[in-house]
Each structure stands twice: as structure tokens, then as C-alpha cells.
Structure 1
Amino acid sequence: MTFSQLLTILRARYKVILTTLLIVITATVAVSLALPKTYRTSTTLLLNYKGTDPVSGHVLAAQLVSGYMATQMDIVTSRSVALKAVDTLGLVDDPAFRQRFQKAANGNGSMRDWLADSLLKMVEVAPSRESSVIEIIAKGSDPAFTAKVANAFAAAYQQLNLQIKVEPLHQASQYFSGEVKTLRAGLEEAENKLSKYQQDHGIVSTDKNLDVETARLNDLSTQLVQAQGQSIEASSRGSQAMGNGGRDSPDVTSNMLIQSLKASLATAEAKFAMLSQNLDRNHPQYQAAKAEVDRLRSELNNSISSTNNSVANNGRILRQREAEVRAAVGAQTAKVLQLNRARDELSVLGKDVESAQHAYDAAMLRLSQTELEGNANQSDVSVLNPAATPMRPASPNVLLNIVLSILLGATLGLALAILAELANRRVRSSNDLLKVLQAPMLGTIAWGKPARRSGFSSLFLSQ
């Protein structure tokens, strides 16, 4: 079938096409006017999403926008949000909705659940592309109620979003409260152990520089060094005093009395020598001079012996002093070592107290933070554009339906015209005749309807 043949068929069957088109348009208009009107409105929400662990307080890795938005859309259309919206609108106490529930469910089941299911059928959620904005769309027959439903879902979603954020914080706060009590008890126990240990061992300070016993040990060590030096010196002097009768020892040579006796003895010996040359042994002067020399020599020997004995006694005293100081140093060293061991144990207990204090402070800080965040009433959801009462119904769209019915009616009319032509094929052009008879065509007669004649022209022709 060529295009010219198609035009010929459409020209011949135009009544079928027009009739079909009119029927479709009329039916569409009638159905559009008969259908109930549906109103559409929407609420736009902005999501300020962030990730924070309510227990540790650490900032988590940012969620993928697509996954987060999908999660929030599922939350908006959840039964929990719908139930909160039912409570916000107060539909349970509405007599009209009670009557509808009685007719629909015959009083069986929960009215809140039935209302929540009914509201969920009215609501759908649409996300914005590449943004944190979602749109809550509500559709219904009552424009005012539809707007209330959209706003109620937005408010219910805000409440649930805040509840989802706050409930973990409340649980974390309870957890930290218990931990704080446990850590406080541990801190008190560690402090009591530290205090008792200090009392039992008599340790006032853990600083070794401020320890009296260590200072005493240092003082005794100094005294021991001095005593050792003095003992060595006394031993050396004693050795010299024991050699050569002790006459060449420094203590003897430095003794003024001995030097005086030596001088007197030398004088007496010189006098005695002179007298011994001139006098006999029995002479009184000779015997007096000899007695004087013997007396001075005896005094000198006694003085030297006394000096050497004094040096020897001093050496013994110094060695005894050295031994006593050494014993005192040993005892003080043992005492300081024992004190150091006690101080080391005390340091461990002090570190336990410090660790318990740090843990307690950290728990108290997290407890304060979680309590502050848990008492916050700020949601991450903000309402950008609340739903307004729609003035015009969203459906049915009569004008759009008429346009669609024109396209459908024209298409259906063309199809019916072609089917009718195929069912009752006619010769409508010379090409059709050639195709049917398969014979050459000699000529064509152009035929048209006779023109209508007016009264004046017929009168003229009759004359």
C-alpha cells in the first residue's frame, strides 16, 4: 500500500476516523470528570549528616551519600514515622476516622496501625540528585489534610531522627555512669593501698632527693672516708714510732717537751763530761751531775715512750672509729636499700593510683559529653519548605487527558479505517484497478457530482 492509496482510503473513511476520535475524546472527558480529584503537595527536608561514635566520641568515616540517603528514605516511609504522624495529627480521637475504621476492619486490630498503613499509602519520598535534600510527597482527596499529612511526616521524621541520635547517647551515658562508679571505687582502693603502705613503711615522700635516710648514708660515707684516711695516717705514725725506739717519729720530733728535755740532757751531759775530767766518781759534784743526767735521760725516755704510746692509742681509736663508721654505713646502706625497695613498691602503687585517676578523668569527661549530647534537642534534619495546601488537583489532568485522547482516538480511528478497508476492499484509483484486473488501462473518466442548479438557471434553460 502506497502513501497515495493510504490517503485515498483515509479520505474515503474519514467518517469512521472522526467518529472514533469523537467517541474517545468524549469518553476521556467523561471519565476524567467522573474520577475523584487527587491533590498533591510536598515538604522539602535538608539532611545534615555526620558520623560520630556515641561511645568513643570519635568521628567516623563519612558515609556514602547514596547509602545514607537511601537509609533516610526508608526511615521516612517506616511504620515508626507513620505511627508518630498518626499521634501528631490526633487521628485516633477523630470520630470520622473511627467510623472509617469500624467500616473497614469491623473494629478488629489496632486503629493506630490501620491509620499508619493508610497514611503510608498516601506518602512517597523522592531524593534530590547529588544533594542532601529529600522531598516528602503526599497525595489525597482532601487538600488540607494532604498538606497536614506531609508536614506531620516531616515532624515525625525529625522526632525519630533525634530519637535515633539521642537513645544511643542515653545508653552510653548509663554505661559511663556505671564505669565511673567502678573507676571511682578502684581509684579509692588504690589511694587507700598507697596511704596504708606509706604508713606501714614510714615513707613520707617518694622523692629520693628529699629522703633523710639517703642524706644520712651520704654523711656516713663521708665520715667513713675521713676515718679511713685518719686510720691510715695513724697506722703509718705508729709504724714509725715502733722503729728505732720511736725516737725518729714525727710526733716525737715535733713534741716541744721532748725537744726541751733533749736540750737539757745535752747541757747536763756536757757539764757531766767536764766534771768527769776533773773530779772523781765519789765527788759530790760528780755524783750530782751524773744523777742529773740520769734523771733527764729517764724523763726523755718516758716522754718518748708516752708520746709513742699516745700515737699507738690514737691509731687504735681511729681504727675502732673506722670500724664503727663502716658498720654504721653498712647498716644505713641496708636500711636505704630496704627503703628503696619499699619506695619502688610505693612507686608501683603510685602509678596504679595515677592510672586509675586518668581512667576516671577520661570516663568523667565522656560521661559529661554524652550527657550534654543526650540532652540536646537539635535534630540533623531541617525543614526547607513546609507543605502548603494545594489549590488545584494534581489528577485527573483534563487537558492532558484530552490531548492524549486526541492522539489515541486518531490512532485508533486510523487503525479502524484501515481494518474496514481491508475487510471490504474497493477500487478507489486507477492503480487499484490495474492491481486487481492485471490488465492495461486504456483511459479514465473524471467523474464528479453534478452541480446544483439554481431556480433562475433552470428557468433560463427551459425557455
Structure 2
Amino acid sequence: MDFSRFFLIILARRKLILFTLIVTILTTSVVSLLLPKSYKSTATLVLTYKGADPVTGMVSPAQLNSGYMATQLDVIKSTRIALMVVDQLRLDQNDVVRRQFEESGSNLGLREWLAALLLKNLDIETSRDSSVIGISYKGADPAFTSIIANAFANAYQEISIRLTVEPSQKAAAYFTDQLNLLRERLEIAQKKLTEYQQEAGIIDADVRLDIETKRLNDLSSQLVSAQAELMGTVAEQDIKNRRGESSNIAKNAMISNLKLNLSQAESRFSEVSQKLGHNHPSYAGAKAEMEKLRAELNKHIKTTTDSAVSQEREIRAALEEQKARVLALNQARNELYLHFKEVEGAQQAYNSAMQRLNQTSLEGQANLSSVSILDTAKIPDQADSPKLLLNVVLSVILGTLLGLGMGLLAEMIDRRVRSPEDLVDVLHVPVLGVIKKGIPKQKRLQLSWPRLIR
């Protein structure tokens, strides 16, 4: 079907199309006038991005998330906020509401039924790339719509605080319980450390402050000195004073005096032996004095040597005993170090839990919200619906489309010949001529020639 045929159909069915259009417009107008008036009141909220949290000082990027705004819209439309509005306005205590609830026969409770009823007439308006949210409520009473819209705005502001505070309060209770456990653990660790210090007699685990280690070093030095003196004494006894004196013997005054007296006695004996014979009393006296001094010197040297050996043995035994004591002390110090580490770890865990408890306690007590009421809902002075002018404009468009459809449907049911082309399509025969009313015969013959030739 080309445009010319469609235009011919519209001209032929113009009365039906016009009648359909008029009926549609009249019906829409009557229905719009008969429908009850509905009022709409809107409360405007703004989500403020404050950056760093004033309590914790941390920057939360949650508000920069693309799904943050959609989440807030779902929160506003939640049943929990609707129940808060019901409790805030005490709608469940109204006798009229109770009567309507009984008549509805709903299986829900009164509060849940009211919450669902409020959410049906609630509308949330947002704009792209904007932090402003409009909470609108529609109803027959203009004052009631403004009250409900403001109640939803206040409930959303309150729930935003609760959603921030409640996790912090629960975390604070958890940290309080954990803090008690950590305190008990710390007390047990400190008690073990004190008992072990008293049992082992160790004050500090630092080796530099240990007296026993210093005593071991002193005994090691004394042993080295005693061994050196012993080596010098034995060497002197072996070489019989032919290679000099040892430091130990040289420091002995008795031995030095005996050596001096022996040297004098040997000189006197040498002089006497050169002047007198072996049987002379002076020779025998000088020899006896010399032998006596030598015997006393050897006796004192032996005593000194034995004393050096005994001293070296005693120092060695004391050193071995001190070494065993230091080894045992080091083993005890290692265990003490583990106790110190256990106390330090328990103290660190306790301090961390205390810090987190203080932080979460502040967060749980904070009455801060990122939602601010920009404009409160006002009582509307004009009805939001029905909109008569808009409905009439829409009825004109709809009536026109409906009239065209009715015209085409009538044409399909009762097919008429509207042009020569219809005869060609239906009968499949050529058209010899077209007779039109009010047109001269000469022109009618001229108009039929193209069709006859074709």
C-alpha cells in the first residue's frame, strides 16, 4: 500500500477516525475530571562528602563508589525505615487505620501492613552525577503527604547514623571481651616471669649486667697468671737457678734473702777452701753453713712451687665450677628471655586492643551523619495528578492513532475500490477509462488514454 491509497482510505473513513478521536478525548477528559486529586510533597536531602572522618581521622572512599547512591536508594525504600516512620508518627495507634487494616484481611501485622502501604506511594528522585536525593510521597491529603515525606527524611538521617554507630558499638563490645582475656594473659605471663626470676635469681636477661660472667673472666685471667708463674717456677727448679729467676721466686723475700746468704756462704767457703784443708774446723763450718743455706733455699723453692701448683689447681677448679654455673645461668637466661618475650607480646596485644577499643568507643558515641536535610517537604497547594492538559494532549495523540487503526480495520473488513489501481490489483484486467463527476468529457477521454495504452 502506497501513500496515495492510504490517503484515500483516510478520506473515505474520516468520519470514523474523527469520531474515535472525539470519543477518546472526551473519555480522557471525563476520567481526568472524575479521578480523585493526588498531592505530592518532596523533601530534599544531600549526601555530604566530608573527606576524613572527624573521629578516626581516616579517609573512607565508600562514598566515591559508583554503587553508593544506588545503595542509599535501596536503604530509603527498605522496610526498616518504613517501620521507623510508622513508630515515629504512631500510625498504628490510629483507630481509622486499625479499621482499614481489619477490612483488608491482610496476613501481615499492622505495622508491616502500614509499612508496605507507605512504600507503595513513596517515590525517590535522583539526578545523574549529583548527591541530592528527593524523597516524594503521594496521597489524597496534602498535609499528610508533607508529614510522611519529612518523616522518611528524618528516618533516613537517623538510620544513616545507626548504620555507622551500630557496627562500632558491636566492635567495642567485642574488644572489651578480648581486652579482658588479654589482661588475664598478660597477668599470667608477668606472674610466670616474676616466679622464674625469683627461682633462678636472675634480675635481668642482659649478659652485660651479669656478675657471674665477670667473675668467670676474672678467674680465667687468674688462671693464666697462675699457669705463667707455675711454668716459671718449674723452669727455675729444673735449671737450678742457672738461667735466672722467675717472677714468682724473685718476688719472694725469703728466697731472695736465702739466695743472698747462700751466695755469701759460697764465697766464704771458696776462700776457706783455698786457705785451709778439709779437716780444718773453719772449712767444715763454712761447708756446713753453705749446705744448710742451700737446703733451706731448695726447701723454700719447693714450697713455693707446690704452692703455685696448688694455687693453679684451685683456680682451675674454681674456673670449671664458675663455667658450669655460667652455662646454667645462660640456659636460665634463655628461658627468662622467652618469658620476657611472652610478657612483651602480651603487653603489645593488650595495648593494641586498648587503642582499638578507645577508637571504636569514640565511633560508637559519635552522632555524626553524612545525610543533611536540604529542604523540608511543604504542603502542596496544587494537585500533582490528574493533569488535565497533559492527559488531553496524550489523548489527542492516542485518539489519532486509534482512529487510524479503526479506519484501517474497517477498510480491511469492508474493502472498497478507491482508485483505478485497486481494480488492476483485484481483477487483474486493464482499466480502459475513468469516469469522474464534474469533469468535461474531453478531459475524461484524455485521462483514459494513458491507461488504455498501458
Length-normalised TM-score, structure 2: 0.79
Distance (Å, rounded) in 2 between the aligned partners of 1:180 and 1:109: 44
Please say if 1:440 is aligned against 2:411: no
Please say if 1:407 is aligned against 2:411: no
Contact 1:253–1:259 (CA under 8 A) maintained in structure 2: no
- 5 Å matches for 1:389-408? 389-408=379-398
Q: Which residue of 2 aligns with 1:148?
A: 147
Distance (Å, rounded) in 1 between the aligned partners of 2:232 and 2:423: 160
Q: Which residue of 2 aligns with 1:111?
A: 110
Q: Which residue of 2 aligns with 1:460?
A: none
Where in structure 2 are there 5+ consecutive unaligned residues?
Answer: 51-56, 441-454
| Amino acid in structure 1 at the alignment position of 2:363 | E
Distance (Å, rounded) in 2 between the aligned partners of 1:388 and 1:187: 61
Q: Which residue of 2 aligns with 1:340?
A: 330
Q: Which residue of 1 aligns with 2:136?
A: 137
Range with bigger deviation, 97-106 or 331-340:
97-106
Q: Deviations over 1:122-157 (max 9, x none)?
A: 113355435555443322222232232222223222
Give 1:337 deviation, angstroms: 1.2
Q: Deviations over 1:282-316 (max 9, x none)?
A: xxxxx8xx322221221112112211221111000
Call closer, same or farther: CA 1:240–1:254 in 2, change over 3 Å. Answer: farther
Where in structure 1 are there 5+ consecutive unaligned residues?
Answer: 51-56, 282-286, 448-463
Distance (Å, rounded) in 1 between the aligned partners of 2:340 and 2:417: 117
Contact 1:81–1:160 (CA under 8 A) maintained in structure 2: yes
- 5 Å matches for 1:3-402? 17-47=17-47, 65-105=65-105, 110-130=109-129, 133-241=132-240, 255-270=259-274, 272-273=275-276, 290-402=280-392
Distance (Å, rounded) in 2 between the aligned partners of 1:413 and 1:63: 53
Give 1:222 deviation, angstroms: 1.2
Give 1:415 deviation, angstroms: 5.1
SS of the residue corresponding to residue 40 of structure 1 reads strand
Distance (Å, rounded) in 2 between the aligned partners of 1:329 and 1:2: 125
Distance (Å, rounded) in 1 between the aligned partners of 2:416 and 2:312: 152
Cα RMSD for the two superposed structures: 4.0
Contact 2:258–2:293 (CA under 8 A) maintained in structure 1: no
Q: Which residue of 2 aligns with 1:454?
A: none
Contact 1:38–1:396 (CA under 8 A) maintained in structure 2: yes
| Amino acid in structure 1 at the alignment position of 2:144 | F
Distance (Å, rounded) in 2 between the aligned partners of 1:35 and 1:384: 33
| Amino acid in structure 1 at the alignment position of 2:141 | D
Q: Deviations over 1:334-366 (max 9, x none)?
A: 111111111111111111111111111111111
Contact 1:128–1:135 (CA under 8 A) maintained in structure 2: no
Distance (Å, rounded) in 2 between the aligned partners of 1:347 and 1:354: 10
Alignment coverage as a number of residue pairs: 424
Distance (Å, rounded) in 2 between the aligned partners of 1:193 and 1:164: 44
Distance (Å, rounded) in 1 between the aligned partners of 2:405 and 2:373: 52
Call closer, same or farther: CA 1:320–1:113 in 2, change over 3 Å. Answer: same
Call closer, same or farther: CA 1:294–1:145 in 2, change over 3 Å. Answer: same
Give 1:15 deviation, angstroms: 5.3
Contact 2:265–2:290 (CA under 8 A) maintained in structure 1: yes
Give 1:78 deviation, angstroms: 1.9
Contact 1:39–1:395 (CA under 8 A) maintained in structure 2: yes
Call closer, same or farther: CA 1:362–1:419 in 2, change over 3 Å. Answer: closer
Distance (Å, rounded) in 1 between the aligned partners of 2:86 and 2:137: 14
Q: Deviations over 1:306-332 (max 9, x none)?
A: 112211110001100111111111111
Q: Which residue of 1 aligns with 2:451?
A: none
Distance (Å, rounded) in 2 between the aligned partners of 1:443 and 1:336: 138
Distance (Å, rounded) in 1 between the aligned partners of 2:412 and 2:317: 138
Contact 1:180–1:363 (CA under 8 A) maintained in structure 2: yes
Range with bigger deviation, 389-398 or 39-48:
39-48
Identity, % of aligned pairs?
41
Contact 1:147–1:387 (CA under 8 A) maintained in structure 2: yes
Call closer, same or farther: CA 1:259–1:131 in 2, change over 3 Å. Answer: same
